Amino acid sequence: MWQQQIDEIKQGNRKTLARCISFIENESEGYESLLEMMPASQTPIIGITGPPGAGKSTLVDGLIGLLAEQKKSVAVICVDPSSPFNLGALLGDRIRMSEWYNNPNVFIRSLATRGSLGGLHPKIIEISDLMKFAGFDYVIVETVGVGQSEIEIAGLADITVVVVVPEAGDEVQTMKAGLMEIADVFVVNKADRPDADRFVKNLRLMLAPAFHTHTMPVPVIKTIASQKEGVKELLKIIKELFEKEHKNEKRSWLLAEKAFHLIQQKKMNNINKKILKQKIEEAGNGFNLYTFIRQFY
Question: What local confidence, expressed as pLDDT, does residue 231 receive?
Answer: 96
Q: Report the DSSP pairing between strands 159-164 and 106-112.
A: unpaired
Q: How many alpha carbons fall within 13 Å on the CB side of residue 185?
A: 26
Question: What local confidence, expressed as pLDDT, does residue 5 receive?
Answer: 93
3-class secondary structure per residue, the chain: CCHHHHHHHHCCCHHHHHHHHHHHHCCCCCHHHHHHHCCCCCCCEEEEECCCCCCHHHHHHHHHHHHHHCCCCEEEEEEECECCCCCCECCCCCCCCHHHCCCCCEEEEEEECCCCCCCCCCCHHHHHHHHHHCCCCEEEEECCCCCHHHHHHHHCCCEEEEEECHHHHHHHHCCCHHHHHHCCEEEECCCCCCCHHHHHHHHHHHCCHHHCCCCCCCCEEECEHHHCECHHHHHHHHHHHHHCCHHHHHHHHHHHHHHHHHHHHHHCCCCCHHHHHHHHHHHHHHCCHHHHHHCCC
Interval 102-132: pLDDT, tens:
888 999 988 875 544 444 667 888 899 999 9
CATH number of 40-244: 3.40.50.300
Q: Where are the domains of the chain?
A: 1-39, 40-244, 251-297
58: left (phi over 0), alpha (psi -120 to 50) or beta: alpha
Residues of the chain with pLDDT under 50: 83-94, 115-119, 147-149, 210
Question: What local confidence, expressed as pLDDT, does residue 64 receive?
Answer: 94
* CA angle centred on 104, ends 102 and 105, rounded to 5°: 120
Interval 183-231: pLDDT, tens:
889 999 999 998 899 889 888 888 776 455 556 788 999 999 999 999 9
Question: What local confidence, expressed as pLDDT, does residue 287 receive?
Answer: 85
Contact 217, 266 (CB under 8 A): no
Question: What local confidence, expressed as pLDDT, does residue 84 receive?
Answer: 42
